[in-house]
Structure 1
């Protein structure tokens, strides 16, 4: 089970606002705040919805004891070369958004 602190940390790492995570997960902003504050313990479906939305944004949740016997945590998925975007020397009017 993930924690509210992991949700808050993952949201910060991805740069998502509470409103953006709420929209991505199908939850209300108040539900996200409750999860982050630890008040959503009776809502396992809410934790799961937030977890899936954050994983889709590139977050990996780490269970307690998995990394150097530390506590639960989060990290960003490793980027692949296809995630690098357009290199500066390849920028031109055709790929200008």
Structure 2
């Protein structure tokens, strides 16, 4: 979504590449502090984390905090014919 490499995310979060990879694979070896650190870096890049709603609409996920009309198709408008 952001085009960040594992190495860039590791550098910006000051975490080892192996910790970033563990978070990506969900193997359970990463601690909550590392997860919070990576989340903070992603939020600084404009990512907004969404909690799952109790009203049955949508679920947990992410989106950009700001969306410009020049940024292409909004995520909610993606479908099988325009998702490249």
Q: Same fold by TM-score, threshold 0.5 exceeded?
A: yes
Query: What is the CA RMSD across the aligned residues, in angstroms?
Result: 2.2
C-alpha contact 1:31 1:40 (8 A) present in aligned 2: no
Equivalent residue number for residue 88 of structure 1: none
C-alpha contact 2:50 2:60 (8 A) present in aligned 1: yes
Equivalent residue number for residue 62 of structure 2: 74
Q: Distance in 2 between matches of 1:78 and 1:67?
A: 24
State which structure, 1 or 2, has the greater radius of gyration over its C-alpha atoms.
1
Q: How many residues align?
A: 68
Q: Which has the higher helix share?
A: 1
Equivalent residue number for residue 65 of structure 1: 53
Q: Distance in 2 between matches of 1:30 and 1:46?
A: 11
Correspondence for 1:34 among 22, 37, 43: 22
Q: Distance in 2 between matches of 1:61 and 1:41?
A: 22
The structure whose RCO (Cα within 8 Å, separation 6+) is larger is 1
Equivalent residue number for residue 35 of structure 2: 47
- Summarize deviations over 1:32-91 as a string: whole Å, max 9, x none: 0101111246500000000000000110011122796222111111158xxxxxxxxxxx
Q: Distance in 1 between matches of 2:38 and 2:55?
A: 23
Return the TM-score normalized by structure 2. 0.69
